[in-house]
Chains A and B, each alone.
Chain A
Amino acid sequence: MRPTSSFKDFSLSWRFVIRDWRAGELWLLVLSLLMAVSISTAVALFSDRLQLALGRQVAEVIGADMVISSPRLLSEQVSREIRSSKLEQSTVVEFPSVVLAGEEMQLVSAKAVESHYPLRGYIRTAPGPFADDTPTEDVPAPGEAWLEPRLFPLLGVEVGDTVTLGAKELTITRAITLETDRGGDFYSFSPRLMFNMIDIQATEVIQPGSRVSWKTLLAGERRQLKQLETALEGKLDAGEQLIHSDDGRRDLRNSVVRLRQFLGLASMAAIILAGIAIAMATRRFAERRFDNAAIMRCLGGSRRQVLNLLVGELVLLAIVVAIPGVAAGWLLQAGLVGLLKGILPAWLPQPGLLPLFVGGATGIVTLLGFGLAPLLRLQHVSPLRVLRRELVPAPASSWLVYGLSLSSIALLLWYYTGELLMTAGLVLAGAGILAVVSLILKVLLQRLYHTGSGRPMPLYWRLGLQRIARESGHSTAQLLAFSLTFMAMAIVLVLRTDLLDQWQKNLPEKTPNYFAMNIQPGEVSDYRQFMVDHDIDAKGLFPIVRGRLTQINGADVREAVSKEQRGHNSLNRELNLTWSETLPETNTIIDGQWWQRGQNDVVSVEKEMAERLGIDIGDQLTFMISGRELSASVASIRTVQWESFQPNFYMIFPAGLLEEYPVSWLNSFYLSDENKVQLNELITHLPTLTLLDLDAVIAQVRKMLEQSVIAVEAMLGALLLAGLLVMASVIESSIDLRLKEGALIRSLGGTRRQLIIMQAGEFVLFGFVSGLIAAAGTELCIYWMNTKVFELPWQPLWWLWATLPPAGALVIGISGWLGVQKVIRQSPSVILNDL
């Protein structure tokens, strides 16, 4: 019996959807749902693609999605796995070698490449040294060599000359200005010479025992990469190392993490707003169905049948809306991508199917979370209502209403952040604050009612106040809805400003675009003089001593750290150690103290490294520098702005301690395009100097930030839309009552002006109070986020308090006034007959 009758209910529900849609009852609900679904889909899709794309940008830095590096050709076993994986692959061989050109000879970092190199990223070349460069998809043809610009003066050659590498003569055809995969440890470069893999045998450089690094670049879909990684598990030799693009660059990573957090927060805010709109719309939906429910009960429908019918109607609606919603989300995201075509990586991967599903499911979760509680009231509609219309079911329990909506928010938040603890804390705190605020509001409203009802005041004021106070539950809900809307928008606005400021600060106009490395101690004063003479803005000249961290508190560093941390780069390679009397500008001490003058045997450690290796203040660190041991105790732990394009260091010592070791100096400076010729002079002047051009990298980061700003602003737009929806649904939710009251007042002789004052006055008041609440809430949230999430300084935002209440009064006042036009215009008799 049951299944057939449920089926019947279902088909009846379906007919209700159609009938209500035809009657124009559902548009607000449909819009709210559409909003929730499309925004969550668009954001899920966009951040999925962005994440993939950023992964790609990071991939450019290693030239592939994944790299297997080894000191020799890969074993047959590994090569077989790679071949069967169907991933794109290209092999690169790098080795230091001496190149000859006539009388001149120079140590170079030679690189042999195959035709698909690089799989991710690009190289830029110019027809000659310091000429304009363009990106290229070519690689040097067999018999050709491409040289880094600074090699030309060092060897005294020009394009068309020949150089000898090992046993092979190569013709110089181009200058190579950029390899995006040359990031990483750029302090120890010799200048580049690139040639074709075909010539590698002929050079005869690769002999047993020679220092050669083989890299197998791999690129393809995430799934395939993952498969290969699993297949290779345990098959890699000791020297063979697998590198992911995820391990990539810190300078990009921090900005990206923040952007993702921001997008997540903003979309969450939009979803909550859509949820509020849904709650309001379903409330009205339910209230307008009290009569229907009563009649159906009267005609023999059981409680369950009636509930199934109406909840079924809503669920069907959600499912039906989910499809265009997901499609709209996809279009939105595609539009965004189209808009950003110029600055997004050309090669934006297609998103997976998961975000589509997540978007649709978000809509349904939001609907159930925010819309179910008001609907459940329908089962308590008494059939007696057909005879006595004043019988209204008890209002939905606040516990149920707020409990369900908070649970759905918690569920979504948990899904989006993946952090259970944070979600729980956030939701509980939110619930607590919500409870306190709504309690205060309710008490205030009731007090208002009592003090107001005793005093003589104009009729329309009294009526307005009475309605607000009498329906204190509904009024509180409305106030909260407005407050949350303003709050969400204010928070996103504040964060956007902070975010942009932060980025702007990291990448100011004259961000250093050159790193000068390998400045010998004897050349430092010459170098300084050159910079002063040419009026080049060069700050922060740092000494560099190369050394390896060997012991922590006397224990071998490999024993001292957990197994997972043993792969940490800092343990596997030499670190750049420096000394400084003062704390570098962009660094901040978070634990311990910067040293006083005269303090020796101490070191300041970068925070992330300290965390990874479990280093605390007072720990004794031992370094191996040029075959000698050096010990120092940890005096302070610092945070470093990796994205600042300034030289950054894991370890900083006081002056004096390192001076007896072999040292070279490092500097970063800014040089405008038109002054770049000066570099020729600098290189001729100081021939051992190594110059690293960061222009392309900075441009890349700038592009990414620009695209982020557009994404952020698109989010703000979406939020604004959601806010308008909330307002519309709040106004709509009380329109029946207002219409009736307005018609009564009109029919009793009230003027339109009185009506306008009464209706708009109420909205202005609501807007003002919501603005105040929102200002307080925003202040609190920003304080929490800045101190706990973003680690930014906090200061009170006075402008919030000054602008939000009047803005709220204005916005709500106007939209309320627009919304109740019907109340003012409609003839009273029509309304009274209708209701």
Chain B
Amino acid sequence: MRMMNSKTSSQSSNMSNNTNDTIPAAVAAQDLMKKVVARSGELTILSGLDLQIKQGESAAIVGTSGSGKSTLLGLLAGLDQPTSGQIHLVGQRIDELDEDDRAKLRGQHVGFVFQSFQLLANLTALENAMLPLELAGRKDACERAKELLERVGLGERLDHYPKQLSGGEQQRVAIARAFASEPQILFADEPTGSLDEETGEKIIELLFQVNRENDTTLVLVTHDMALARRCDRVLRLHNGLLKNITDSDREHAP
């Protein structure tokens, strides 16, 4: 166990050294540890993992249910605090920031797409897409949100409430919202998890297309290998550590 741990971390730190020289990482984690106290005692979810994702790169994090994918995503996006270790977002160390500063950073540089869409039920499609812009106090919120909704093909449904939209449409609204504030990094948590295959396919197409157009760094958490393969890089979370999956590994992946 110990051995394997040191081996993996040296592996990834080598890798990060290589990239560090050229472009600064959009997302980086060092020796990231997350423990939680459960009824059965202390539970280690992440046990000192390292990670570097370059600006413009797309990375998929895969793993079985309960492997801690969502925990890792929450930490990388600054939604949660690690037990120990460092996290950098767009060159800024965020584990030392307080919640409000992290929120500000998220507002400026980060977009989210979730499995359950996470739209505000009492806001229309347009209002949902406007929300991050409004929170940031931007005056062009309405125009910008409209423009994005048109780009995701919802120009006709601006005034619809989430309940009046299909799952795929809701996820399109979420994508428009995620890109509204022109983030550098997009975190996506099982973005197709609640959609049927065909709709999921279309959503993924859209996601990658918009991602390319904006040159956004994409961090995608999924258990869908087909989806994961579309990313530049696939990382498997297992026993609290990350491992790069090569193409040969991918053949054997579940």
Contact = CB atoms under 8 A, between A and B. Distances in A.
B79 interface: yes
Contact of B127 (A19, A291, A296, A305): A19
Given A291-B118, A303-B99, A387 B107 contact: no
B114 interface: yes
B135 A301 contact: yes
Nearest to B81: A384
Interface string B65-97: 000001001100101100000000000000000
Interface stretch (A4-12, A434-442, A486-494, A564-572): A4-12
B79 A382 contact: yes
B206 interface: no
B43 interface: no
B134 interface: yes
Contact of A387 (B70, B99, B100, B136): B70
Contacts of A386: 79, 112, 114, 118
B226 interface: no
Nearest to B110: A300
A299 B124 CA distance: 17
B104 A300 contact: yes
Given A299-B131, A300-B132, A300-B136, A383 B70 contact: no
B107 A300 contact: yes
B100 to A, nearest CB: 4
Q: Which of A23, A305, A382, A387 has the most CB of B within 10 A?
A: A387
B121 A23 contact: yes
A752 interface: no
Contact of A296 (B80, B131, B161): B131
Interface string B134-177: 11110000000000000000000000010000000000000001
A23 B106 CA distance: 29
B103 interface: yes
Given A25-B122, A383-B79, A386-B114, A299 B106 contact: yes
Contacts of A303: 99-100, 103
Contacts of B114: 386-387
Nearest to A292: B120
Contacts of A20: 122
B222 interface: no
Interface in A272-301: 291-292, 295-301
B44 interface: no
B113 to A, nearest CB: 11
A597 interface: no
B189 interface: yes
Contact of B122 (A4, A23, A298, A305): A23
Given A25-B122, A295-B118, A383 B103 contact: yes
Contact of B132 (A8, A16, A25, A299): A299
A388 interface: yes
Interface string A10-46: 0010011001101101000000000000000000000
**Chain A contact surface mostly:** helix
Contact of A298 (B108, B112, B136, B161): B112
B80 A301 contact: no
A19 B123 CA distance: 7
A305 B135 contact: yes
Contacts of A305: 135
Nearest to A25: B122
Contact of B135 (A15, A300, A382): A300
B181 interface: yes
A384 B107 contact: no
A302 interface: yes
A615 to B, nearest CB: 70
Given A301-B103, A305-B135, A384 B79 contact: yes
B22 to A, nearest CB: 29
Interface in A354-398: 382-384, 386-388
A302 B103 contact: yes
Interface residues of B, number: 35
A304 B99 CA distance: 11
A300 B79 CA distance: 10
B73 A387 contact: yes
A571 to B, nearest CB: 72
A386 B79 CA distance: 9
Interface residues of A, number: 30
A197 to B, nearest CB: 75
Contacts of B79: 298, 382-384, 386-387
Contacts of B77: 298
Contacts of A299: 106-107, 112, 131-132, 135, 177, 181
Contacts of B70: 387-388
A359 B80 CA distance: 46
Contacts of A296: 131, 135
Nearest to B135: A301
A8 B137 contact: yes
Contact of A8 (B106, B118, B134): B134
Given A295-B120, A384-B79, A302 B104 contact: yes
A2 to B, nearest CB: 11
Given A5-B137, A387-B189, A297 B122 contact: no
Nearest to A299: B132
Contact of B108 (A16, A22, A300): A300
A4 B131 CA distance: 17
A387 B190 CA distance: 11
The residue in A12, A296, A300, A382 that gathers the most chain B C-beta atoms within 10 A of its C-beta is: A300
Contacts of B119: 295
Contacts of A302: 100, 103-104
Contact of B107 (A16, A19, A301): A301
Nearest to A8: B137
A761 to B, nearest CB: 31
A302 B105 CA distance: 10
A23 B121 CA distance: 9
Nearest to B101: A302
B207 to A, nearest CB: 18
Contacts of B106: 298-300, 383
A291 B131 CA distance: 14
A456 B45 CA distance: 38
Contacts of A22: 122
A317 to B, nearest CB: 14
A57 to B, nearest CB: 54
Contacts of B104: 300, 302
Nearest to B181: A300
B103 A387 contact: no
A269 to B, nearest CB: 34
A305 B137 CA distance: 11
B181 to A, nearest CB: 7
A388 B80 CA distance: 11
Contacts of B121: 23
B122 A19 contact: yes
Nearest to A388: B70
A350 B127 CA distance: 48
A15 B122 CA distance: 11
Contacts of B122: 16, 19-20, 22-23, 25, 292
A295 B162 CA distance: 15
Given A291-B118, A298-B106, A386-B114, A304 B100 contact: yes
A826 to B, nearest CB: 15
A235 B103 CA distance: 72
Interface of B: 70, 73-74, 77, 79-80, 99-100, 103-108, 110, 112, 114, 118-124, 127, 131-132, 134-137, 161, 177, 181, 189
17 contacts: A19-B123, A23-B121, A291-B118, A295-B131, A296-B131, A297-B99, A298-B77, A298-B118, A300-B104, A300-B107, A301-B103, A303-B99, A382-B79, A383-B79, A386-B114, A386-B118, A388-B70
Given A16-B122, A23-B161, A299-B131, 8 more contacts: A20-B122, A292-B122, A295-B119, A299-B106, A299-B112, A303-B103, A387-B70, A387-B79
Which 3 pairs of residues, A with B, have the shortest CB-CB distance?
A300-B107, A299-B132, A302-B100
